[in-house]
Amino acid sequence: MAKNTTIFMLLQNFISQEEINEILVEYGFEDTARKCDVPTLLAYLVGAAAFEWKRLRHAADVASAQGLKSVDYSTLSKRLGELNHHIVKRIFDVIVRRLNRATRRKLKLKKDLLAIDSTTITVGKTRLPWALYHGERSGIKLHVSFTNTTEMPLKVVETTGLKHDGPIGVSLEDKRFILVADRAYFSMDKVDRYAQTGQDFVIRLKENIHVSRKKSLKRAPVAGSNVVADFTCILGTTQKQTVARHRIVEFTDYEGDVVRVVTNLRDVTAEEIAGMYKERWAIESFFRWIKQNLNVPVLFGTTENAVYSQLFAALIAYVLLKFLQTEGHKKKHCKRLSFAGFTRQLLCDTLPIEWRIGLKEIVEFHRELYQLDIG
């Protein structure tokens, strides 16, 4: 296969050797390897996710054809077991912050939606005995906040599969955004706290939540609206209820079932709130894509460090590919491609000539911009 170094060049553009060294010092990790240092191992993991290399041995055999330094399988395996996965997570945080900032700066966005959800990756319990899940399965979970407009994760928290979503969701909150979440993230204490702190939100109500002292809100009729009700109320019973009144919007989904969401947004229509909740499905599409396309279910190691390092490297591969597609669509002569189609053609080196020229310009532009940022 011909060399395709675009994703590796972009990786170097958004995280320098000097910054990686600073992160290593931060975590007290001494990188003494000469042949397989941390940047090299990171490139292998990102390449494994993007090109779907099925095993480390496979990666060692084919990586040099993609322009990477040749490293034997045993060295890769040893280094993966040694590397603190928080280092790869920290590198991911740096890269995703830069990519989100660059995309949002060009789009000149106002307050955006931030979808919050989690996905669980399961394997046989003998593979990951430290992450027992249910029955004969082990599981690890990624809790993600996802910016709908940039289509990139903003923050990721890794846990074992049995950790509940609600408490972890607190660490994903961000007042710059409107939080959109499913009922697993609802609690009466939480929505009261949001009302006090100014965190905007749209969260689905649990089925058993009682509402009282309802007061309907005036709304103009909208043709074809799927909104059933729009009112404010107190949530809960006398034993435990909210202090503040909250707005409830009820609407029907595609199957005709009624969905109830609670929100503190008062200056938007009920139809807009229903639309915000529906946009939460973007994060579900993201989870499905990374599981199908970034080699995530195929784990290269069984320790916490090996597993989480691989997962965060896969996320790095995703955000780099998504960034390239988003920036490419801004070029006048680049016809629109689906994310799956773009990724497949990029990695197979079959993109149209106008896309190849556009991507070269993108990589060079951001290399120069990055050098100015750190200069």
Is pTM beyond 0.85 here?
A: yes
Q: What's residue 149's pLDDT?
A: 83
Regarding whether 271 and 300 lie in a shared domain, the answer is: no
Regarding whether 304 and 235 lie in a shared domain, the answer is: no
Q: Number of C-alpha atoms within 13 angstroms, CB side, residue 6?
A: 28
Regarding whether 339 and 303 lie in a shared domain, the answer is: yes
d(CA 227, CA 277): 12
- Domain end residue (candidates: 225, 242, 275): 275
Number of domains in the chain: 2
- Whether residue 370 lies inside any domain: the answer is yes
Regarding whether 317 and 270 lie in a shared domain, the answer is: no
The tens digit of pLDDT for each residue in 22-74 reads 999 999 999 988 889 999 999 999 999 998 888 889 999 999 888 899 999 99
- Whether residue 151 lies inside any domain: the answer is no
Q: What's residue 1's pLDDT?
A: 37
- Domain end residue (candidates: 241, 275, 309): 275
DSSP per-residue letters across 317-375:
HHHHHHHHHHHHTTSTT-----HHHHHHHHHTT---HHHHHHHHHHHHHHHHHHHHHH-
- Whether residue 149 lies inside any domain: the answer is no
- Whether residue 168 lies inside any domain: the answer is no
pLDDT at 147 over 50: yes
Regarding whether 266 and 322 lie in a shared domain, the answer is: no
- Whether residue 206 lies inside any domain: the answer is yes
Q: What's residue 370's pLDDT?
A: 61
Regarding whether 309 and 345 lie in a shared domain, the answer is: yes
Regarding whether 257 and 199 lie in a shared domain, the answer is: yes
- Whether residue 177 lies inside any domain: the answer is no
Q: Is the distance from CB of 152 to CB of 109 less than 8 angstroms?
A: no
Regarding whether 268 and 195 lie in a shared domain, the answer is: yes
- Whether residue 289 lies inside any domain: the answer is no
Regarding whether 268 and 190 lie in a shared domain, the answer is: yes
- Whether residue 45 lies inside any domain: the answer is yes
Query: Could you list the residue range(s) of the whole structural domain that residue 217 is in?
Result: 186-275
